[in-house]
């Protein structure tokens, strides 16, 4: 492929993306998986993933992320439900014919092959001519910055280097979808951040539909177009990162992502009443019943006086301070509630344990989640 | 600390003791078993290598050992895959069955083979010895290969299939090469086990299929020929070489990869 061809391809891709934008490319429908016939590891998951999208599966360990990925890759048969790729059902297609690239948490590089042989493996399986294998494998290694390491065996490389080889190997054959199962879990923090940037760069360059499994919320927040939050075999919410953070639809999502305060809010007559605080002057949602009122700690600030209209102002007893350098987390109680507030360090330098201060948040900053 | 060291030395001496007698004796000039030897020469080595009555059992032993190794591997490799990777009814019973030859005393096994193989008319034939030795080699070989299979990362197979390899290709390109060291060690132990084995061989090998240990037993009973110390020394050297070769191989591979990494 010449540079010109590539350019034209890129153009037609961006063009078609504009049209296809909302159309699902990878569709997961009512997917259920039970390993033992009794308990369900995945309990009815439905997701529509668009072409070129970067989607994260985020959730605690054991919530069914890997199981879902294994079914997409073809290593596990769904108990029920279906998976469609480009409109075609792929359940009957065996794993080795799916053309889906996967990166495993423990890299799964073939120990008896060099880096170059590892990367060339998928091309060899596709009966590519030897000269082309050599060229494309070298190109792929170059893409992950390991051009000089082709002759090394996996045991002669660091964890980060092995992960890059695994990435090159999963991409070299031009897969339709790229799956990554906690690919950076075994790396230290600096290397992890470096690899996050690298993976995003590659995603941008190739425009490949990607599913990225992680239990690290900041990783999911910074990398994804959309996040699917997993809990106990179901997807609690599937939305862009900012929506997940600002407008969680379940209490689990609100507490799993970011730090949070929850207040019990009930609807009385036409207004809303928060436990320990009283009537709220915010528009009541149409549903009746009870709500979790979510207030993020960083939405809470010091009250310096003025018009209290539209604010919740409370007196707050500081029971503990945690210094993060740039910010300080205050842990304490107000109006009989345990609350956490996060202040910029410069505003908190004079505060001590045992102090009572006035804190406040804007009533509009409280997000209401209906109690199920 | 010093006591444990002394103890270790004593144990080593106890284990190596017989060798300290047998190896010098093989170079002895005496015409009977005499220790310490009155003088040293290579005469008994010369007569060993020139004597068909000794060389035939050597070749018998090598042939029977190789056949035993092959047959054992053919049985144990599929069995290990089934036992390690599948869950099925009667799995633990089969596990016990596989270990049986190790638990039952060899002399009991030998008696059984003697009567049973007589009926089958394969007694005093290499085939009978190979079958019996295979049976005896299975437990140790199974332990080794099942252990290496348990340590095998199945994500390697998943990765291969993900990259487009059919199940069969996955086995030949990934599973087999990665497990090869375990297979080699398992095969080696099957060979050594057969090469070393005396009890069953004495019962069923007869003159025609006489193995080296059996010939040694006959020789010591009938003629007390000092050549036997030559055979013992050579036998020990062969086994030592066989056991050390995987270690040496690993050291070479490691040195090579360090050289390349540097
Ligand atoms: N091969 C398996 N056999 C039986 N149960 C399994 C298997 N793999 C996963 N599970 C179970 O399925 C559930 C979901 O696991 P998994 O998909 O690995 O979660 P996650 O990747 O989110 O940590 C867990 O309860 C786990 O114990
Ligand atoms: Mg997992």
**Tokens found for residue B172:** 């030949």
Please tell me if residue B261 touches chain A, with a CB cutoff of 8 Å: yes
Long-range Cβ contacts of A185-188 (<8 Å, 24+ apart): A185/A105, A185/A214, A185/A215, A186/A105, A186/A106, A186/A159, A187/A159, A187/A160, A187/A163
Specify the pLDDT at position A256: 93
Q: Is the CB of A35 under 6 A from ligand 1?
A: yes
pLDDT at B221 over 90: no
pLDDT(A276) > 50:
yes
Q: Whose CA is nearest to atom 9 of ligand 1?
A: A67
User: In this predicted structure, what is the pLDDT of residue B260?
Assistant: 62
Average pLDDT, chain B: 89
Contact A166/A103 with Cβ under 8 angstroms? yes
**Beta-carbon neighbour count of residue A191 at 10 Å?**
16
Q: Looking at the CA of residue A181, tell me the nearest atom of ligand 1.
A: 21
- Whether A12 shows a pLDDT value over 60: the answer reads no
Q: Kindly indicate the confidence band of residue B261, based on its pLDDT and cuts at 50, 70 and 90.
A: low
In 10 A of CB A104, how many CB atoms?
Answer: 23
Are the beta carbons of B178 and A110 separated by less than 8 Å? yes
Share of chain B above pLDDT 70, in %: 98
Q: What is the pLDDT of residue A16?
A: 41
Residue A10 has pLDDT above 70, yes or no: no
Q: Is the CB of A231 under 6 A from ligand 1?
A: no
Q: Is A258 near chain B, with CB under 8 Å? A: no
Task: Give the atom of ligand 1 at the shortest distance from the alpha carbon of A59.
Answer: 22
pTM score of the predicted model: 0.81
CA–centroid distance, B88 to ligand 2, in Å, is 27
Range with top average pLDDT, A159-168, B218-227, B249-258: A159-168
Given this model, what pLDDT does residue A283 score? 73
Q: CA-nearest residue of chain A to B166? A: A96
Q: Which ligand is nearest to the CA of A105?
A: 2
pLDDT band at A277 (very low <50, low <70, confident <90, very high): confident
**A66 within ligand 1 shell (Cβ under 6 A):** yes
Q: Which residue has the higher pLDDT, B29 or A174?
A: A174
Whole-number pLDDT of residue A211: 97
Residue B131 CB partners (closer than 8 Å, separation 6+): B71, B117, B122
In this prediction, residue B262 has a pLDDT band, given cuts at 50, 70 and 90, of low
Q: 10 Å Cβ neighbour count for A174?
A: 13
Contact call for residues A46 and A34 (beta carbons, < 8 A): no
State mean pLDDT over A333-359.
90
The pLDDT tens digits of the residues spanning A230-252 come to 999 999 999 999 999 999 999 99
Residue A9 has pLDDT above 50, yes or no: no
Task: Tell me the nearest-neighbour CA distance from A120 into chain B, angstroms.
Answer: 10
- As beta bridge partners, residue A239 has A227
Residues from chain A that touch B164, judged by Cβ atoms under 8 A, are 96-97, 99, 122, 125-126, 173
Half-sphere exposure for A111 (CA within 13 Å, toward CB) = 15
pLDDT of residue A22: 62
Q: Contact at 8 Å (CB) between A168 and A140?
A: yes
So what's the pLDDT on residue A19? 42
Contact with chain B for residue A180, Cβ under 8 A: no
Q: What is the mean pLDDT of residues B93-107?
A: 92
Contacts of B51 (CB under 8 A, 6+ apart): B227
Task: Determine, for residues B155 and A104 on separate chains, whether the beta-carbon distance falls below 8 Å.
Answer: yes
This complex has an ipTM of 0.81
B166 contacts chain A (CB < 8 A): yes
Q: How many angstroms separate the alpha carbon of residue A181 from the centre of ligand 2? A: 7
Nearest neighbour of B257 by CB, restricted to A110, A156, A170 = A156
Radius of gyration of chain A (CA): 25
Q: pLDDT tens digit string along A158-167?
A: 999 999 999 9
Q: Which of A100, A108, A151 has its CB closest to that of B155?
A: A108
pLDDT confidence band for B218 (50 / 70 / 90):
confident
Q: Output the residue whose Cα is nearest ligand 1's atom 11.
A: A41
Residue A214 Cβ contacting ligand 1 at under 6 Å: no
**What is the pLDDT averaged over residues A76-85?**
95
Residue B209 sits at the chain A interface (C-beta within 8 Å): no
Question: Quick check: A145 and A178 in contact, CB under 8 A?
Answer: no
Helix axis angle for A115-125 and A159-171, nearest 10°, is 20
Q: Which domains does chain B have, with CATH numbers?
A: 1-50 (no CATH), 51-224 (1.10.3720.10)
C-alpha to C-alpha distance for A3 and B9, rounded to whole angstroms: 73
Of the given ranges (A66-80, B4-18, B147-161), which has the lowest mean pLDDT? B4-18
pLDDT tier at A15 (50, 70, 90 boundaries)? very low
Q: Distance, CA A41 to ligand 1 centroid (Å)?
A: 6
In tens, the pLDDT along B43-61 reads 888 888 888 888 999 999 9
């Amino acid at each position: 492929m010449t540079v010109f061809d590539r350019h034209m391809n890129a153009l037609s891709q961006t063009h078609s993306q504009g049209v296809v934008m909302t159309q699902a490319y990878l569709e997961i429908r009512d997917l259920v998986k039970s390993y033992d016939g009794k308990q369900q590891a995945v309990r009815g998951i439905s997701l529509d993933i668009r072409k070129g999208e970067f989607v994260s599966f985020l959730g605690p360990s054991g919530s069914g992320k890997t199981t879902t990925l294994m079914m997409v890759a073809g290593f596990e048969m769904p108990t029920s439900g279906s998976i469609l790729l480009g409109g075609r059902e792929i359940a009957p297609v065996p794993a080795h014919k799916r053309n889906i690239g996967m990166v495993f948490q423990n890299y799964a590089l073939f120990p008896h092959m060099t880096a170059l042989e590892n990367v060339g493996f998928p091309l060899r399986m596709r009966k590519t001519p030897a000269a082309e294998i050599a060229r494309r494998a070298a190109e792929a290694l170059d893409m992950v910055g390991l051009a000089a390491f082709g002759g090394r065996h996996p045991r002669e490389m660091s964890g980060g280097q092995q992960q890059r080889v695994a990435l090159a190997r999963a991409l070299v054959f031009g897969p339709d979808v790229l799956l990554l199962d906690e690919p950076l879990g075994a790396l230290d923090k600096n290397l992890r951040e470096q690899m996050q940037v690298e993976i995003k760069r590659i995603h941008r360059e190739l425009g490949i539909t990607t599913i990225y499994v992680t239990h690290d919320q900041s990783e999911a927040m910074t990398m994804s177009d959309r996040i699917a939050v997993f809990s106990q075999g179901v997807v609690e919410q599937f939305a862009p990162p900012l929506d997940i953070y600002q407008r969680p639809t379940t209490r689990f999502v609100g507490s799993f992502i970011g730090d949070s305060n929850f207040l019990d809010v009930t609807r009385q007559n036409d207004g809303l009443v928060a436990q320990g605080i009283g009537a709220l002057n915010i528009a009541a949602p149409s549903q009746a019943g009870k709500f979790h009122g979510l207030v993020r700690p960083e939405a809470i600030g010091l009250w310096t006086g003025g018009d209290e209209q539209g604010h919740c102002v409370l007196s707050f007893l500081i029971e503990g301070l945690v210094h993060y350098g740039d910010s300080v987390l205050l842990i304490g109680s107000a109006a009989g509630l345990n609350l956490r507030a996060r202040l910029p360090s410069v505003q908190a330098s004079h505060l001590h344990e045992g102090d009572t201060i006035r804190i406040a948040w804007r009533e509009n900053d409280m997000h209401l989640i209906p109690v199920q | 600390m010093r006591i444990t060291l002394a103890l270790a030395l004593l144990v080593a001496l106890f284990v190596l003791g017989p060798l300290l007698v047998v190896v010098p004796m093989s170079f002895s000039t005496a015409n009977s078993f005499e220790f310490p030897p009155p003088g040293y020469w290579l005469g008994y080595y010369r007569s060993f290598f020139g004597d068909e009555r000794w060389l035939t059992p050597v070749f018998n032993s090598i042939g029977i050992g190789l056949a035993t190794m092959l047959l054992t591997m053919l049985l144990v490799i599929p069995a290990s895959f089934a036992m390690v990777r599948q869950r099925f009814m009667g799995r633990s019973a089969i596990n016990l069955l596989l270990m049986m030859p190790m638990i039952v005393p060899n002399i009991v096994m030998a008696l059984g083979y003697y009567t049973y193989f007589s009926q089958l008319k394969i007694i005093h034939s290499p085939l009978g010895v190979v079958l019996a030795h295979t049976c005896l080699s299975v437990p140790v070989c199974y332990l080794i290969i099942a252990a290496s299979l348990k340590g095998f990362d199945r994500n390697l197979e998943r990765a291969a299939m993900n990259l487009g390899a059919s199940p069969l290709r996955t086995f030949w390109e990934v599973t087999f090469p990665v497990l090869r060291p375990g297979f080699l060690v398992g095969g080696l132990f099957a060979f050594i086990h057969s090469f070393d084995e005396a009890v069953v061989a004495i019962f069923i090998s007869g003159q025609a299929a006489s193995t080296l240990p059996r010939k040694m037993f006959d020789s010591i009973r009938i003629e007390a020929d000092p050549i036997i110390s030559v055979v013992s020394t050579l036998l020990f050297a062969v086994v030592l070489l066989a056991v050390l070769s995987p270690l040496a191989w690993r050291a070479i591979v490691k040195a090579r990869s360090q050289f390349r990494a540097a």
